[in-house]
């Protein structure tokens, strides 16, 4: 599950953790603000012993009514939850990484094209969705990330 993650990195040249699949999952999430060639926000959910990951080019919404493109990227190791620092020049994803938000989540639905969850972060709180539209135009890696209207 972490082959792609490991392939892309040289661990004697980056401070990032090596990719090892974790035996336990604790339903944590993190959003890392990543000052790479293009600034983006990496959204990661702890599912199945790894961090399922998406790169969001614009700031993740705290309110309903805003949909963000989220590009699916390779799964990251659970130890990446705490990663912050500088990935040196010449490495994959070179640039500064800061933790923008983190916390726990509750998984409501985990389907091929639809993941529903409740986030309990400091900035992101409430019901959220990741939807992968079945459309040629949209592409294989493109998802939509948005806050759902709460039913209560």
| Choice between 64 and 91, CB closer to Mn ion | 91
Which of 9, 28, 34, 68 contacts Mn ion by CB under 5 A?
34
Query: Should residue 16 be labelled a site residue for Mn ion when binding is judged by CB under 5 A?
Result: no
- State which residue has the least CB distance to Mn ion: 34
Q: How far apart are CA 71 and CA 74, in angstroms?
A: 10
Torsions phi, psi of 135, nearest 5?
-145, 135
Does 127 bind Mn ion (CB under 5 A)? Our answer is no
Q: Reduced to 3 states, what is the DSSP secondary structure of residue 89? A: coil
35-64 residues near Mn ion, rule: CB under 5 A: 42
152/68 Cα distance (integer angstroms): 24
Output the CA torsion 127→143→122→97 (10° steps): 170
For Mn ion, the closer of residues 16 and 127 by Cβ is 16
The footprint of Mn ion (CB under 5 A) covers 34, 42
């Amino acid at each position: 599950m972490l082959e792609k993650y490991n392939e892309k990195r040289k661990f004697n040249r980056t401070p990032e953790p090596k990719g090892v699949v974790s035996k336990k999952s604790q339903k944590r999430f993190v959003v890392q603000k990543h000052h790479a060639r293009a600034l983006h926000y990496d959204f990661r959910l702890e599912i199945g012993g790894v961090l399922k990951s998406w790169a969001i080019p614009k700031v993740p919404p705290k309110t309903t009514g805003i949909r963000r493109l989220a590009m699916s990227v390779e799964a990251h190791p659970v130890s990446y939850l705490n990663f912050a620092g500088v990935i040196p020049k010449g490495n994959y994803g070179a640039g500064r990484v800061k933790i923008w938000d983190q916390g726990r989540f509750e998984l409501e639905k985990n389907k091929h094209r639809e993941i529903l969850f409740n986030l309990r972060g400091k900035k992101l709180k409430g019901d959220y969705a990741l939807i992968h539209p079945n459309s040629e135009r949209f592409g294989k890696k493109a998802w939509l990330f948005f806050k759902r209207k709460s039913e209560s």
